[in-house]
Amino acid sequence: MQVLHHPRVAWDMARLIVSAVPDDRLFDWLCAEAGELLGPEHARSLQDTRQRLWPWARTTPEAAAVEAGRWRVRLEDLLRTRPEIAEPLRSLTVIASGLHRNRIG
């Protein structure tokens, strides 16, 4: 059995969320998948993140870092109360990261 480092799982997903904002298709897919896994309130929070960071061209690195930090904390808190979602969240991050790399690469 693999032991997951919950803060790392949270941080990886938080960074991915922020980096996916400019890609409509990827972000919409990520919202749907995260909503299934985490619940509809988190899908709505993802849309709020997008509103704060859009248009991406005007987003400062500081604003992106703050938003990633918000998600890191939110996801770490969630993993404390629902540790069973750590593996599905890690898997979602791996899949979405691969999609992101393929779309920008």
For the entire predicted model, the pTM comes to 0.93
Q: Looking at the domain assignment, is residue 99 inside a domain?
A: yes
- List, for residues 11-60, the tens digit of each pLDDT value: 999 999 999 999 999 999 999 999 999 999 999 999 999 999 989 878 89
Q: Looking at the domain assignment, is residue 1 inside a domain?
A: no
Containing structural domain, residue 93: 6-104
Q: Looking at the domain assignment, is residue 50 inside a domain?
A: yes
Q: How many domains does the chain have?
A: 1
pLDDT at residue 72 in the model: 98
Provide the pLDDT confidence category of residue 1 given band limits of 50, 70 and 90.
low
Q: Looking at the domain assignment, is residue 66 inside a domain?
A: yes
Mean pLDDT of the chain: 94
Q: Looking at the domain assignment, is residue 20 inside a domain?
A: yes
Look at residues 49, 44, 42 and name the one whose alpha carbon lies nearest to residue 81: 42
Q: Looking at the domain assignment, is residue 38 inside a domain?
A: yes
pLDDT at residue 2 in the model: 73
Q: Looking at the domain assignment, is residue 56 inside a domain?
A: yes
Q: Residue 47 in 3-state DSSP?
A: helix
Q: Looking at the domain assignment, is residue 93 inside a domain?
A: yes
